[in-house]
Structure 1
Amino acid sequence: MKTHFPVDRMRAEATPFYYYDMELLDATIKAIRQYSDYPDFQVHYAVKANSNPEILRRIAASGLGADTVSIGEVKAALDAGFSAAKTVFAGVGKTDEEIAAALEYGIGCFNVESEPELFVIESIARQMGKKAPVALRVNPEIDAHTHHYITTGIAENKFGIAMSMLRRVIDSCIKSEWIDLQGLHFHIGSQVTDLTPYKILCERINRLQEEYSDIEFASINVGGGLGVDYDNPDTNPIPDFEEFFKIFHENLKLRSGQQVHFELGRAVVAQCGSLITRVVFVKEGVDKKFVILDGGMTELIRPALYQAHHKIENLTSTSPDEERYDVVGPICESSDTFGTDELLPETKRGDLVALRSAGAYGEVMASCYNCRSLPGSRFSHRFR
């Protein structure tokens, strides 16, 4: 389904702002629920991808759980209507205050990332007289072949526990009366478009389950990371959830009664969001033309941070002629560039430009650098 932009209404809006196609979000959630409809599957939404309250409320209403990485995200999820019992709390640097608050909220599980973290959780749980539910995040030593900033499953990484250390940490859990060991947690990376690493992950988990056949794991959390098509958002607006979930259904050898947990973020919200900006100037260079937008890396940092590319679409030009432009933002950094040699319809001052597929890691990562204001948000159902 192609995103419809209500251009006439948008002209009157102050830019930059995020525009969310809520019909596409609903269709995406429907596809997730349809293709994850296996008896032992439970899907959680990774709140870090987009924590806009209206987005969170819409996802919570669908019955998905929440995957969080800070106590702020835990609170945002609970405020939006997510169940505490279906909320997991991950992250490598949970503070004592965050751990205590999460225990007080009664969250479903801590995804434990290191041995020192386990000992701190145990100590705080003992002081509070509450048993802490935990899953141990294991580094499966799988390269997801994505950007090195978002690869998380290799052997030496700040995330997770090395497989060589796992037995010792499991034994610590079993010996503690304040730890409830629920399962194992894995996450190989983000923006994974070749699904082969997920098959390898299933094989790695199967071997681990055989190796630890003496340990009862109620759940296996396989993380998320499923990528989206940034180049063709209208052609592929919804990721291939059918094949994604089928891989785990067909390749993961579950024990009787065991649950599989998923933590999808980008795949849920990326395609429903666009950053809407306005052309401030078209600058003639020596050999290039520059389209200078009123939105920049403060609103959408992914191109500057990851060298990521978002489809750039002029929403208002009616010119049949196309030209090459470097599309840049107004921030005082050379990295504030959205695209070079972009082929666009002839572009003029005042044109509205959409940076597509920006629903994930867009608004949520916006900053006030250069003393700029944070971008607002608009929703399709309110533009009718």
Structure 2
Amino acid sequence: MDHFLYRDGILHAEDVALPDVAAFVGTPFYCYSTATLTRHFTLFDDALSWGPHLICFAMKSNSNQAILKVLAGLGAGMDVVSGGEYARAKAAGVPGERIVFSGVGKTRAEMRTALIGGIRQFNVESEPEMRALSDVAVSLGVHAPITVRVNPDVDAKTHEKISTGKSENKFGVPISRAREVYAEAAALPGLKVVGVDVHIGSQLTELEPFELAYRKVADLTRALREDGHEILRLDLGGGLGIPYERTNEAPPLPTDYGALIQRTVGDLGCEVEIEPGRLISGNAGIMVSRVIYVKQGEDRKFLILDGAMNDLVRPSMYGAYHDIVPVVEPAAGTEYTKYDVVGPVCESGDTFAKAREMVPLSEDDLVAFRSAGAYGAVMSSEYNTRPLIPEVLVQGDQFAVIRQRPTFDEIINRDTIPAWL
């Protein structure tokens, strides 16, 4: 469920009419719903109420500070994968003890920053990283709390580019070698082992892969405790999918996911950490764009929008589907027509949809890309010197611009011309 609904024939974000936002900020723009963010976080929180837990929002899905402040105010921690995301989390007021640092390529500088600024744990992914972290911690006279990310070799049954738990993927250490890796971690002077980490992928629409992975983690936890390690936390990652296509069967609910966690690892007495991103922010955001032209091709119609692949890259990168709806509600019984929905960037890949059945649209009509709150704005670029588009947050009948559209001068003036030119 989200809070983008038609009211009196106009698509609203909560109580705000989207044409009013478009008139204020121009198009294209991203728009987020506070009520939807709150609802989705609360679903996860309730689903894990059977035991101690922390929900760390996966910032890679949406890192705007206003979004982070909404979620932090609800009690969320943050899952970061770079020094920049760590800095954003701290700037949004998230304390270090609620920040988990993930990622396969943490640098010593990033480790040092997090150890000085405060960190809940590092999810380490290799022995070289583990040794580097120990060195940095020793140089600072502290112990770095760690989990080791294990790769359970479980097929997440998702897109190959967002699958992370198979043996062929770059993430984690093979679960078959986990005990020896933990033995080395315990012997390193700058580390303190606190738990186990696993994450098998994103946009999972079935629970079975989670169950297979979590049962392996439960067995490993028992074995590690036999080896003398104090395993206090289980970081079980994120990855629960959302229904991008409204006609598809809905993915499992957070309540089902929480019950599965309780069933597979609930008897271990560990604090559970999960790192949802897409399911919290995905349906909480849309991208609104305007029709520039309707072009008749040889055998198809092109709907040319002012939004482009640099604004929302998922369709070009993953072949991802986004529901595209008119901001003005069509009359009942309106016949559909087929469009190739494209942007103005000089790439054939700048295509959002092919032969998409939609109501007839004309120049200046507004359309909304649903389920664009995750991996939308964070993956955008200024390709073709197109400014990053505004982000807007709605709460009830209020809205605020939470990222401004830069001017051409601001973009161009970032360049520095050498003196010899």
User: Shorter chain as normaliser: what TM range?
Assistant: over 0.9
> Could you state the TM-score of these two structures normalised by the residue count of structure 2?
0.87
Counterpart in 2 of 1:15?
27
Residues 7 and 316, structure 1, Cα contact 8 Å, conserved in 2: no
Letter in 2 for 1:7: L
Q: Distance in 2 between matches of 1:316 and 1:182?
A: 53
Tell me how far 1:11 sits from its aligned partner. Answer: 4.4
Counterpart in 2 of 1:3?
4
Residues 41 and 71, structure 2, Cα contact 8 Å, conserved in 1: yes
Of 324, 334, 338, the residue aligned with 2:348 is 334
Counterpart in 2 of 1:232?
246
Letter in 2 for 1:269: S
Letter in 2 for 1:335: G
Identity among equivalent pairs (%):
38
Residues 303 and 337, structure 1, Cα contact 8 Å, conserved in 2: yes
SS at match of 1:191: coil
2:336 matched to 1:322?
Answer: yes
Counterpart in 1 of 2:405?
none
Counterpart in 1 of 2:147?
135
2:276 matched to 1:264?
Answer: yes
Of 352, 357, 364, the residue aligned with 1:343 is 357
Describe how 1:57-68 pairs up with structure 2 within 5 A.
Answer: 57-68=69-80
Counterpart in 2 of 1:104?
116
Residues 207 and 252, structure 2, Cα contact 8 Å, conserved in 1: no
Residues 291 and 367, structure 2, Cα contact 8 Å, conserved in 1: yes
Tell me how far 1:55 sits from its aligned partner. Answer: 0.6
Please tell me the root mean square deviation across aligned C-alpha atoms, in Å: 1.9
Counterpart in 2 of 1:274?
286
Q: Distance in 2 between matches of 1:365 and 1:233?
A: 26
The change in CA–CA distance for 1:235 and 1:69 in structure 2 (over 3 A counts) is same
SS at match of 1:252: helix
Counterpart in 1 of 2:259?
246
Counterpart in 1 of 2:175?
163
Letter in 1 for 2:377: E
SS at match of 2:346: coil
Unaligned 5+ runs, structure 1: none
Unaligned 5+ runs, structure 2: 6-11, 401-421
Q: Deviations over 1:63-82 (max 9, x none)?
A: 11110001111111122122
Deviates more, 1:181-190 or 1:194-203: 194-203
Letter in 2 for 1:301: V
Letter in 1 for 2:367: V
Counterpart in 1 of 2:368?
354
Counterpart in 2 of 1:152?
164
Q: Distance in 2 between matches of 1:19 and 1:154?
A: 35
Q: Distance in 2 between matches of 1:61 and 1:245?
A: 22
Letter in 2 for 1:113: E
**How many residue pairs align between the two structures?**
382
Tell me how far 1:332 sits from its aligned partner. Answer: 1.2
Letter in 2 for 1:230: Y
Q: Distance in 1 between matches of 2:355 and 2:379?
A: 26
Residues 206 and 252, structure 2, Cα contact 8 Å, conserved in 1: no
Residues 138 and 161, structure 1, Cα contact 8 Å, conserved in 2: yes
Residues 139 and 160, structure 1, Cα contact 8 Å, conserved in 2: yes
The change in CA–CA distance for 1:138 and 1:227 in structure 2 (over 3 A counts) is same
Residues 219 and 259, structure 1, Cα contact 8 Å, conserved in 2: yes
The change in CA–CA distance for 1:50 and 1:23 in structure 2 (over 3 A counts) is same
Counterpart in 2 of 1:173?
185
Counterpart in 2 of 1:55?
67
The change in CA–CA distance for 1:318 and 1:43 in structure 2 (over 3 A counts) is closer
Counterpart in 2 of 1:255?
268
Tell me how far 1:137 sits from its aligned partner. Answer: 0.4
Q: Distance in 2 between matches of 1:69 and 1:230?
A: 25
Residues 196 and 221, structure 2, Cα contact 8 Å, conserved in 1: no
Letter in 2 for 1:352: L
Q: Distance in 1 between matches of 2:73 and 2:138?
A: 34
Residues 61 and 81, structure 1, Cα contact 8 Å, conserved in 2: no
Tell me how far 1:7 sits from its aligned partner. Answer: 3.5
Residues 36 and 245, structure 1, Cα contact 8 Å, conserved in 2: yes
Counterpart in 1 of 2:46?
34
Tell me how far 1:383 sits from its aligned partner. Answer: 4.2
Q: Distance in 2 between matches of 1:289 and 1:117?
A: 52
Tell me how far 1:234 sits from its aligned partner. Answer: 12
Deviates more, 1:19-28 or 1:99-108: 19-28
Q: Distance in 1 between matches of 2:235 and 2:216?
A: 13
Counterpart in 1 of 2:316?
304
The change in CA–CA distance for 1:207 and 1:239 in structure 2 (over 3 A counts) is closer
Q: Distance in 2 between matches of 1:126 and 1:8?
A: 56
